[in-house]
Structure formats: structure tokens, C-alpha cells
Structure 1
Amino acid sequence: MGSKNNTAIFIDKLKGVMFNDRHMKSGDIRRIVLRHRKLEDYNPPRNFGYDVEVKPVYDKDGVSFYINKRGVAPERAIMFIHGGGFCMEINKKQWEFAAKLAAGTGYEVVVPIYPLTPEHSGMECFAMLKNAYDKMNGRKQYEQVTILGEECGGGMALSLALMQWKHGGRRPDKLVLLSPFVDAGYKDRRLEKMVIDADANYHGYYYTYGIKSFLREYWIGNDVMDPDLLCPLESDFTDICDEIDIFSVAQDMLNGYSTALYEKLKNYQTIVHYYVFNNIVHDYVEHQEIPECRMITKKLINCITEKNQSIPYDVKQSVWVRALLSERYSKIYSDQTSVRLADKFHVEYKDFNSGISLYDKAMCFGRILAMDEEVRCFINRYPDGVIVNVGSEMDTMFERLDNTRIKWYNVDLPERIAIRHKYLGTRDREFNIDKSILDFSWLDQIKYKKGLGILFVCSDVMKLFDEKKLKRLLAEIYKRYQGAEVVFDIKNSVGKRKWNAERIIKSENKPRIRISIDNCISNLYDWNPRYKIIKDIPLLDEKMAEQLFGRDVTRKLRHKIKRKYDKLIHLRLGRERYIETD
């Protein structure tokens, strides 16, 4: 932690001791706020450290300032709702942050100067914000609109998005919430206690009961406020925007609200990213002289411009393999979605072709075709069954094999499910579970009716397992779903040794394979005698290899195929048990 950050925290605490006495009542806070108001000026500084231009736009409710990067005609916009406890004007450092946003993103940044308490109520504030937002969208048809809110501005940004959804206005495409305060009425006592505890342990001054009374008396006042405006945390977030990014500091008094909001948003079909930092000053956007705060701002700008949404190499590679198979062998395999994704991800075919051997490419093709065949046969036997794609990444198997009756689950890491949701969305009867496949609690989220059949598809995930973890995965499935089927691909001991040796020789930074199975019957019988082996076959048979590569190439691969360097194993874990009832 840098010394500048520690100094900023110390100065903030010192100011808090001077200006936020815990014994102050709401009337005392009102007098201090009004006295400070005489010294405040909401107008932007004359000179920024960035090459931007500022233009005021007036309407009946107030003024908004439009900040543009000089010489750029932006097609996208950000509305920045500043923080300040509902009662403080935007300050110079917040203006500099807004200018940095405009310069860093190339977007048009709109800063509404909203009415403040105690002179104005929350209802007046939201009326102004809605008018400013509508006027912004009325002036120009932006390709993308983002609402960014800081602290109390984060809660207002969330409420504004809810208002737009309710009134049929243009929804924001993205929300970015910086340590959002989403319960101005302090309705949730549990979260209020977390604020008190965090405040006592870390800040030592920000929260007082006088502030709570002040907001109730002047911000809420006698108005009957819509719950979406007063406490948006309790609202329905269905379809309010496409993506939400939440930034917070672990020790911050508002972190409890950020965490609660994230946990709730995970239940909706909205992409949500949650970034938590440690031991950073409370108002980090106002301290760009601190390296840690500059790092957060850079991350924030990348989130808005989607530069942070880089696609992992292995995900690109799997998309490339499916797209290549579809384009070259369309009579055997068709996957236009992967072809489209490969184009969208700017996949360079030459880069992947040069980094993969002929045998590995053949096994990639074989894996896709073999898994499809196993799933297709299962669906024929159990047309109303459940299929769980473990480690799904961007796999399009559900789209290719859907019979309009099966239920489908995709399981993968949260960041990969977020990418999947963004580019593939979800369909009817398709569900995404954003958990690590090694965290076996995801098994409890699968809804399954006995007798309909359930299949777990583990394609190219054994690189993440060792023998102990695979044994436990099968045991956990067996414990919950007796009679379930599991299909996975794995190497034998020779294939494993050659793979690892090749990675070492090439100095590739890829995971070493830690598991192999030679004698499937012996291994699995030792694990559980109730496991039944349905198939133990080469991942790619010679007949299919000839169709893909011709006889001459297949002849080079024949030894490895016959010796089953890579194999497909299909298991049934016991038999289903039915409980008879009277």
C-alpha cells in the first residue's frame, strides 16, 4: 500500500473528527451544510489536465455540463452522477475525474448538477435527473449509453435506470456503480449494522445517527417516495440494462451494500461484474495522485469501453476449432454460431494453426464429434432428460442438438459464464451456473426429476483434475443422482507422458496433465463397484479420421488411435432408486 494512500486516509479521518462530530443532530448538520454551500461552486474548472471541451446545457430544472474530447464527435455517452452525501456540490477533483473519463473513453460525459438537500427533496432531485437523461438522449441517438454513479450517486444511478424501465424510456446499456449507497431510508437494519461496524473499524467517523436523521428529515421529508427511489436494493432488476459493473473497497462502510446488490443481481439474466479492492481510500475517484486509485480508474475505463472483456486464449481456441470444423467439413458438422463468434473475436486462424500439432487438431475434432454423438444418443433415449455441460465455455452444443424438450445446464467460472451470456445469451430451458466446476456445490442447483435421465458432459476438462478430484466428482454425482451418466475424455499414461514432455520441450505455459486412465475396468471398480462402463473407446476412430484427413494422414495417426492415447469414457453411476410411498 502506497504512502500517498495512507496519507489520504489519515487526512480524511482528521477532517471527519473536525466536521462530523458524532453528537451532531440533523439540525446541526443542516447548518454546517448550508454554511459550506456558500463556499461551493458547481461550475467546472477553467483548465483541465486533459484536452477536453465543456459545454453547459440548460433546461427548466437546472443545468448539465457536456464534456467531450476535443476534436471528437462521440457516438456513445456516459452520465456521471457524482457523490457527496446528497448535500454537497461536485468538487474540483470530481470534475477532473469526469474529464479523465471523457479523455480516456472518447465518450461524451454528461454531468447533471442535481438539486441538493436540505434545500430540495429527493423527489425534486430525481425529477431533474430524469429530465437531464431524457434531454441527453433527445439531443442525439447514441450507440451506447452508460450511467455511472459514485457513492450516493450510485444509488441514484440505479434508481434512474429503474425509472426509465418503468416509464418506457430508453434504458441505459450499462450501469457502473462505484461503492453505491442503495438504501437512503436505512430500511435494511442488517446492512445498517454492517455500516456501523465497518465505520468503527476502519473510517471512525463517516456514519452517525445524525446523518440518518438528516436524510429522513430533509431528503425524504414529507414526500411519499417510490421504493425504487428510496431503497433500490429491494427492487426488481429484470431487464433494467444489459450489463452492470460494481466497484467497491473491502473495508469501506458501503461495501455491505455493494455485496448485497451483487448477490441479488446474480439471480437475474443480467451480466454483472463485481470488483473489490483492499485498503483504498473511501473516495478513490477523487485521489488520482495515488497509484492505487489511478489503477481503479484505468480498470473502470476499460470496463466502460469493454477493453477488459478480453476473451481468454483457450476459449478463443475452442471457438476456432469448432468454426474450422464447421467450415471445412460442413457435411459432417455444422456450427454457424461458432463461425460468427470466431469473426467477432477476431480469431486469426494462422496463429492457432501454427501452435497445434496435427494429432492434437485431430483429437480436437474427434472430441467435438464424439461428444455430440454421445449426447445425441442420450437424447434419443431420454427425450425429456437433463444434460449438464461441465466446463461449457462457449460451447454451442445445446443449439445444435436441442430437441425442444430437454433441459440444459452450463457450468463454468463466473467470468466465463458472463462472456457466454454476453455473446450467446440464454434460451428457453437453458440455465447457466456460474461456479467453479471444482466447487461441487453447483450440483445442488440442478433440478432433476427421477426417471427422465441425466447426463454430465465433461469435454476437455480433465486437465483440471487429478485422480482424487475426479474420484470425488463421480462420488458427488453418484450421491445426488444415482443412475446418472457421465461422459468424459481422458488420456492414457503414454498420452499423458508425451503431452507433458512436449509442453516442457516447447516451454509452453499450459497446465500439465495430472491424471490418466489405462485400465478403465480396474480403476473404476476400485473407486466404486456400482459404476458401470458403457463405453471405453478411442476419441477418434480410424473411419472418421479418414473422412477428415484422408488415408495418408490417418496412417500416421493409426498407432496413437489404436493405443488409445486419447479415449472417451462413458459411465453409468449405479442405478436409480425409487422410494415407494403408500
Structure 2
Amino acid sequence: MTARQAVTLGTVQETLLIPLYGRAVESRKPEPALRDPRAEAIVASIDYDFARFDGMPSLLGSVLRTALFDQWVSEFLTAHPDGTVVEIGTGLNTRYERTDNGRARWFELDLPDVMAVRRSFFADTPRRTSISASVTDPSWLDTVALTAPGPCFFAAEAVLPYLTEDEVHRVVDGIAERFPGSLLALDTTGPGMIDTQDEHDVLAKVEARMQWNCPAPAALTDWHGVASVLDSRTVAELPPPLCDRLPDSLREMLSGLAAQRLPQVEDYRLNLLRLR
């Protein structure tokens, strides 16, 4: 039997293992919301106590978030097949494997300890480049700008809430300054979720804690770098093209969840922004 790979990650970086496991668990279902055999293989090869997350509702939430981000990326690549996709805090995501069109330019950014693990599973290609840096270090923008053709889509999934509001401001403004008119997908959480992290089904099992809360994503247009909010929704209110592809039982569950308008669901939103 092949030995499983140990991983050494920082406090916040450890959270990347949650959506990875969520995709692997979902992918094994007879009718999954998202198929990701690569995530299954990676989970099987890593020495980590993933079982601590078993049965947690937030695993499915992370899968639905990823599925929506995938759809936004696919729609972008349909409109701009030679464009550029930048994965901010890429972790062990496999969005390239799921959505690449064979023409786009991809950049995958994360901290050095994450990239040390990621390089065990993914290799750079002429169209796919890994960047080892913090999102708060503006030098990564120079790397992308040197070879990024066409319009750009930036995906920051489960990353920015772990920064301070000032840091998020600088990141968003920096992207807007270098890549005006680009799209940015990000998740936001309100103060309720920030205040109850210690009781959260998944976050309670790790040490990382979110810092930035955004109770009204529509107000992001007050920021210098944000031109408009193109979409903002909860995981229970997925758009019809995506919802129509989900198993019937899951669609029924999400419909009931949306009707309840639970604070813990309403507090967490997935957003697509157009930058100035």
C-alpha cells in the first residue's frame, strides 16, 4: 500500500481541506451535485483526519458554492474563450480540471506552504501557472499582468473573509487598478456568522477564524474598485441553469431551505462583482 502524504499547513491554510473533502464526498454519491474524481484521489492520498467533518451540512454548502463559482467561470469562458482565469487562494481546488476550455490562460495563487502541497498533485503547463504568494502581496498582480491575455476573471473562494476589511479593500482595489472591468467572484459573511464561529459545524473543528464581515454585499459598490454587483445569492438560491442540473432530492431540500430564510443561511452570500 502506498504511504499517505503528510501535509503541513498554516492555521487558515488548513481550511482548504474542508472544500476538498466536501467535493470528494459529494463525488462518490450516485447522483452528485458536482463530480470531482481528482478530489477523491487527493483525499485518499493525504494523511489527515477528514472524518472530523463527516456528516456536517457545511460540506454540502461548500460544494454548492464551488458549483456556482464553476458556472460563473464557465459563463465567462463562453463569452471570452481566450480570456484569463485567476484562482485566488486556490488551495487544492480542481476548477481547471472541471471548467478549462483548452484555450484560456490560468493562474493559481496561494501561500508557499499550500503550493508546496499543491505541486505534489498539479503541474504547470504553458497555459497554467502557479504563483506562490499571499493575496495581500501586490507583486502577484505583476506576474499575471505580464502574460494575461484578454478579459480576466478572478475567483476568490473561501479566502477574503479570513482577511481584515482593510486588507480586502486593498486586494480589491489593487485588482481593479491593474485589471479594470474584470470580474471578481467572492463569498461574504455577515456579523452573525462571525460571532458564532465557535459553534459552526465545521469551523469549530479548526483553529482558523474569519475576520471580515459584509452584511450587505450591495454596499460593496461604495468601494473605489467595485463598479457593480452582478449577482449575489445564498447557497439555497442557486440560479436555474445550475439548479436544474442538481438531483431532484437536493433541489427539494434547497427549496425548503430558501423558504425558511434561516439567519445562518442568509448571512453567507456568494457574489459576482464587476470591477471599475
Q: Encode CA deviations 1:440-475: one digit per residue, 9 max, x unaligned.
A: 221111036787210110000023212211111111
Structure 2 CA distance for aligned equivalents of residues 449 and 372 of structure 1: 23
Deviation at 1:376, TM superposition (A): 0.7
Aligned amino acid, residue 446 of structure 1: V
* 2:108 alignment partner, SS class: strand
Structure 2 CA distance for aligned equivalents of residues 306 and 324 of structure 1: 18
Structure 1 CA distance for aligned equivalents of residues 28 and 139 of structure 2: 38
Structure 1 CA distance for aligned equivalents of residues 204 and 70 of structure 2: 33
Query: Identical aligned pairs, as a percentage?
Result: 19
Structure 2 CA distance for aligned equivalents of residues 452 and 350 of structure 1: 43
Partner of 2:19: 318
Correspondence 1:111-122 to 2 at 5 A: none
Aligned amino acid, residue 456 of structure 1: F
Checking the alignment, whether the CA contact within 8 Å between 2:52 and 2:205 is kept in structure 1 is no
Checking the alignment, whether the CA contact within 8 Å between 1:490 and 1:566 is kept in structure 2 is yes
Checking the alignment, whether the CA contact within 8 Å between 1:392 and 1:412 is kept in structure 2 is yes
Checking the alignment, whether the CA contact within 8 Å between 1:448 and 1:454 is kept in structure 2 is no
Structure 2 CA distance for aligned equivalents of residues 485 and 398 of structure 1: 17
Checking the alignment, whether the CA contact within 8 Å between 2:186 and 2:270 is kept in structure 1 is yes
Of the three residues 382, 399, 409, the one matched with 2:107 is 409
Checking the alignment, whether the CA contact within 8 Å between 1:493 and 1:516 is kept in structure 2 is yes
The yes-or-no answer on 1:551 pairing with 2:252 is yes
Structure 1 CA distance for aligned equivalents of residues 190 and 30 of structure 2: 28
Structure 2 CA distance for aligned equivalents of residues 508 and 350 of structure 1: 11
Partner of 1:467: 165
Partner of 1:538: 234
Aligned amino acid, residue 325 of structure 1: E
The yes-or-no answer on 1:565 pairing with 2:267 is yes
Q: Encode CA deviations 1:189-232: one digit per residue, 9 max, x unaligned.
A: xxxxxxxxxxxxxxxxxxxxxxxxxxxxxxxxxxxxxxxxxxxx
The yes-or-no answer on 1:512 pairing with 2:214 is no
Structure 2 CA distance for aligned equivalents of residues 454 and 338 of structure 1: 26
Partner of 1:255: none
Aligned amino acid, residue 429 of structure 1: R
Aligned amino acid, residue 516 of structure 1: N
Partner of 1:525: 221
The number of residues matched between the two structures is 263
Change (3 A) 1:496 1:330: same
Partner of 2:175: 477
Partner of 1:422: 120
Partner of 1:262: none
Structure 2 CA distance for aligned equivalents of residues 441 and 338 of structure 1: 30
Partner of 1:344: 45
Deviation at 1:414, TM superposition (A): 1.2
The yes-or-no answer on 1:434 pairing with 2:115 is no
Deviation at 1:311, TM superposition (A): 4.9
Checking the alignment, whether the CA contact within 8 Å between 1:458 and 1:489 is kept in structure 2 is yes
The yes-or-no answer on 1:452 pairing with 2:153 is no
Aligned amino acid, residue 333 of structure 1: L
In the superposition, the TM-score normalised over structure 2's length comes to 0.82
Q: Encode CA deviations 1:521-557: one digit per residue, 9 max, x unaligned.
A: 3x32322286221111223426748746463676356
Deviation at 1:367, TM superposition (A): 1.0
Q: Unmatched 5+ residue regions in structure 1?
A: 1-304, 575-582
Structure 1 CA distance for aligned equivalents of residues 186 and 133 of structure 2: 19
Of the three residues 329, 333, 336, the one matched with 2:34 is 333
Change (3 A) 1:490 1:468: same
Change (3 A) 1:373 1:562: farther
Checking the alignment, whether the CA contact within 8 Å between 1:485 and 1:571 is kept in structure 2 is yes
Change (3 A) 1:449 1:464: same
Checking the alignment, whether the CA contact within 8 Å between 1:435 and 1:442 is kept in structure 2 is yes
Q: Which moved more, 1:439-448 or 1:367-376?
A: 439-448
Structure 2 CA distance for aligned equivalents of residues 535 and 477 of structure 1: 19
Checking the alignment, whether the CA contact within 8 Å between 2:226 and 2:275 is kept in structure 1 is yes
Partner of 1:114: none
Aligned amino acid, residue 476 of structure 1: G
* 2:266 alignment partner, SS class: coil
Checking the alignment, whether the CA contact within 8 Å between 1:538 and 1:562 is kept in structure 2 is no
Checking the alignment, whether the CA contact within 8 Å between 2:108 and 2:129 is kept in structure 1 is yes
Structure 1 CA distance for aligned equivalents of residues 185 and 257 of structure 2: 27
* 1:446 alignment partner, SS class: helix
Aligned amino acid, residue 26 of structure 2: L
Checking the alignment, whether the CA contact within 8 Å between 2:110 and 2:134 is kept in structure 1 is yes
Structure 2 CA distance for aligned equivalents of residues 552 and 539 of structure 1: 11
Deviation at 1:566, TM superposition (A): 1.4
* 2:228 alignment partner, SS class: strand
Correspondence 1:184-223 to 2 at 5 A: none
Aligned amino acid, residue 272 of structure 2: H
Structure 2 CA distance for aligned equivalents of residues 526 and 405 of structure 1: 35
Structure 2 CA distance for aligned equivalents of residues 534 and 553 of structure 1: 22
In the superposition, the TM-score normalised over structure 1's length comes to 0.41
Aligned amino acid, residue 209 of structure 2: R
Change (3 A) 1:319 1:562: closer
Partner of 1:253: none
Structure 1 or 2, whichever has the larger Rg, is 1
